[in-house]
Amino acid sequence: QKEVEQNSGPLSVPEGAIASLNCTYSDRGSQSFFWYRQYSGKSPELIMFIYSNGDKEDGRFTAQLNKASQYVSLLIRDSQPSDSATYLCAASPNSGGSNYKLTFGKGTLLTVNP
Amino acid sequence: GAVVSQHPSWVICKSGTSVKIECRSLDFQATTMFWYRQFPKQSLMLMATSNEGSKATYEQGVEKDKFLINHASLTLSTLTVTSAHPEDSSFYICSARLPGQVGGDKYFGPGTRLTVL
């Protein structure tokens, strides 16, 4: 059973702080990892993806991957109230072709307090 | 940018009736579409993978006779929930993928909220 685990939260941070979201996965065959943001009642939006061990930065977001520990994280710098949402971690055994599948975690609810 | 629509955005039906949900890629051709279901405070669960012109591939535990998927064209996939029951009440989301697309699924429909009374 392929599983992606996330702390459901809620994670509460003050505006301007760094929010740290964590995710672990069970399938060692997973190669690609994705972070999505989902506002209540809406569908997910892709924030970023990471394939290689280490850090990947995109604006205020940094994804970190450690395949040996089967651990993925997302850091959000200078958190804003508009970042308040549920963050979903997803994993896939590959990222090419048309039929690769994503396994999603349950998500972590982030609240950024003004 | 690529847009995916879903219709209806919400539907309420009586137990035992069938409901059809449409997923359309508005400005691109999607060879593959995916149907997900999300219960409150739960993750997105993949139900099936839909390829244009062929039978859908269902995930383990998803009843293919209950959740009928038709991908008749490169821009339209439909999910029909047959003989719906209250336990089928959920948020149904489709995603569409461009041929050869990498980097994760970016094109999700806005979702359909199904409530079965």
Question: In the prediction, which pLDDT does A98 show?
Answer: 61
At position A69, the amino acid (one-letter code) is S
Q: Does B49 touch chain A (CB under 8 A)?
A: yes
Of B10 and A99, the structure prediction assigns the larger pLDDT to: B10
* Separation in Å, CA A100 to CA A2, A95, B17, B50: 14, 6, 33, 12
Q: Does A32 touch chain B (CB under 8 A)?
A: yes
Average pLDDT over residues A89-112: 85
Average pLDDT over residues A7-16: 93
B46/A102 Cβ within 8 A: yes
Phi and psi for A10 in degrees, rounded to 5? -80, 150
Closest CB from A43, A46, A99 relative to B104: A46
Please, which pLDDT band fits residue A90 given cuts at 50, 70 and 90? very high
Q: Which residue does chain A place closest to B49, by CA atoms? A: A99
A7: pLDDT strictly greater than 90: no
SS3 letters across chain B: CCCEEEECCEEEECCCCCEEEEEEECCCCCCEEEEEEECCCCCCEEEEEEECCCCCEECCCCCCCCEEEEEEECCEEEEEECCCCHHHCEEEEEEEECCCCCCCCCEECCCEEEEEC
Could you read off the pLDDT of A68-83 as tens digits, one per residue?
999 999 999 999 999 9
How big is the A-B interface in CB pairs under 8 Å? Answer: 62
Question: In the prediction, which pLDDT does A8 show?
Answer: 83
Q: Does B27 touch chain A (CB under 8 A)?
A: no
Could you read off the pLDDT of B48-78 as tens digits, one per residue?
999 888 889 999 999 999 999 998 888 999 9
Closest C-alpha among B105, B76, B110, B72 to residue B92: B110
- Nearest CA to CA, how far is B93 from chain A (Å)? 7
Mean predicted lDDT score pLDDT of chain A: 93
Return per-residue pLDDT of chain B as tens, 117 residues: 679 999 999 999 999 999 999 999 998 888 889 999 999 989 999 999 998 888 899 999 999 999 999 988 889 999 999 999 999 999 999 999 887 777 778 899 999 999 999
